[in-house]
Amino acid sequence: MKPNGLSFDAPQPQSEEVLEIDLEQFKINNFAALLEEDLNDNLQRLKAAIPVGLLEVKTANGWIEQASKRPIPRMLFSEFWYEQELCILFADTNVGKTILAVQIADSISRGRSIPGFKLEAKAQKVIYCDFELNDKQFQKRYSRNYEEPYLFSDNFLRVEINPDADFPDDASFELSLSNSIEKVIIETGAKIVIIDNITYLRHENEKAKDALPLMKHLKRLKNKYNLSLLVLAHTPKRDLTKPLTRNDLQGSKMLMNFCDSSFAIGESSSDSSFRYIKMIKVRSSEHIYDSDNIIVCQITKPHNFLHFNFLHFDSEYKHLKTVSEHDKQKLEDEIRQCINEEPAISAYAIAKKLCVDEKDFNSFKIKVLRIYKRIRPNNKPDKPITDW
């Protein structure tokens, strides 16, 4: 009797056949798995090699919904500078850019507004890249004759260039400096950065091809680390009889085109210690502080802190330098005398001869040229006007 109906005489499959079938199936399954893994790996490499799209498309409602999830930018220095903005502050040399910038940094680091101005942000770290003053000059400004120093908040982080630093042979100074600033941002976690001044980041900003990479770099830093950037810049020598405009920013117009906001400091003709602050470009508010509504301040140091002291609002035209009819006539007589003494003299040579203060030469030579062309209309200037 055959137990359980099973016959012991039934032919059994050979072990070699079983092994051969299983091995073949294993090879097939393994090949498929390896192929899938290889395809996925290649796909990931391909995705990594494809650059991120230049354009991002959403519906208008989609953009608003995305923006609504981020906090509303707060004022850092009244309507002149808001959070998450790349702002440019410009003025002539020795007008007070650094004084005001340090005052703004001190205000934000303490979370206390400057009298006469608004601050909505809380106290936080501020990186102040000071490429203008050395430590002794900084000490003098913020002490009483090198004694009784002003006590800054520990949130105020001042940065200087290390004169003993070794720069890589294959890297430019500007690139090394930019990378070092980014490293400080990462290490400190600060969201407010003030750079004094822009010429240290890139020496050549006169042409669009030089200014554009700089502005792209600053924009990249701003977006990557969610920064608020205030960058100081110079104006060329300007005619103090004319209002401040965006054309007074030294360098390519690309700087002005790519920044979010900008304001400038002008000298007042009414008092050598008076300065006025004027809004030049704004996106986050109305254009409040224009030529009819500038902010007049006085540079003062009652104890150990050099700063701008708010005085009042005013019209810019009241603070511009004026030229009397007597002065105009006197200058014309002097130009005529130069021509009589030396008939072949050029307008440029006359300007060089009559200019009293070299720092006023750029604006002075334009006045001389106008009178020269009126007196001698058939004479062409010895140099192109654009070179003057």
| pLDDT value of position 175 | 80
| pLDDT value of position 170 | 62
Do residues 341 and 213 share a domain? no
Domain count, the chain: 2
Do residues 335 and 220 share a domain? no
What Å distances lie between residue 322 and 173, 202, 272, 273, 326, CA to CA? 43, 36, 15, 18, 11
Do residues 80 and 189 share a domain? yes
- The answer on pLDDT for 21 being more than 60 is no
- The answer on pLDDT for 7 being more than 50 is no
Span 297-322, average pLDDT: 95
**Structure token digits, residue 373:** 């062309």
Do residues 101 and 235 share a domain? yes
Span 327-350, average pLDDT: 89
Asked if residues 310 and 113 have their Cβ atoms less than 8 Å apart, the reply is no
What Å distances lie between residue 223 and 123, 214, 285, CA to CA? 21, 14, 21
| pLDDT value of position 385 | 39
Do residues 313 and 336 share a domain? no
What is the per-residue DSSP string for 200-221? GT-S--SSHHHHHHHHHHHHHH
Span 20-44, average pLDDT: 66
Residue after which a domain boundary falls, among 289, 319, 349: 319
Span 52-74, average pLDDT: 89
Do residues 144 and 227 share a domain? yes
| pLDDT value of position 364 | 81
- The answer on pLDDT for 261 being more than 50 is yes
Q: Mean pLDDT over all residues of the chain? A: 84
- Residue 226 is assigned to a structural domain of this protein: yes
| pLDDT value of position 27 | 60
Do residues 179 and 235 share a domain? yes
Residue after which a domain boundary falls, among 301, 319, 337: 319
Residue after which a domain boundary falls, among 294, 319, 344: 319
pLDDT per position as a tens digit, 174-195: 788 888 999 999 999 999 999 9
What Å distances lie between residue 378 and 49, 101, 161, 289, 381, CA to CA? 64, 49, 54, 44, 10
Hey, what's the torsion of the CAs at 49, 51, 52, 53, to 10 degrees? -130
- Residue 123 is assigned to a structural domain of this protein: yes
Do residues 170 and 287 share a domain? yes
| pLDDT value of position 6 | 45
Least confident of 27-36, 83-92, 98-107, 379-388: 379-388
Do residues 244 and 335 share a domain? no
pLDDT tier for residue 40 given thresholds of 50, 70 and 90: confident
pLDDT tier for residue 24 given thresholds of 50, 70 and 90: low
Looking at the chain, the whole-number percentage of residues with pLDDT higher than 70 is 80
More confident position, 112 or 43? 112
pLDDT per position as a tens digit, 97-121: 999 999 999 999 999 999 999 999 9
| pLDDT value of position 166 | 76
pLDDT tier for residue 382 given thresholds of 50, 70 and 90: very low
- Residue 281 is assigned to a structural domain of this protein: yes
Do residues 293 and 373 share a domain? no
Which residues are CB-neighbours of 249 under 8 A, at least 6 positions away? 88, 90, 233, 235, 255, 256, 262, 264, 280
- The answer on pLDDT for 326 being more than 50 is yes
Domain range for 311: 75-319
Looking at the chain, the whole-number percentage of residues with pLDDT higher than 90 is 51
- The answer on pLDDT for 44 being more than 70 is no
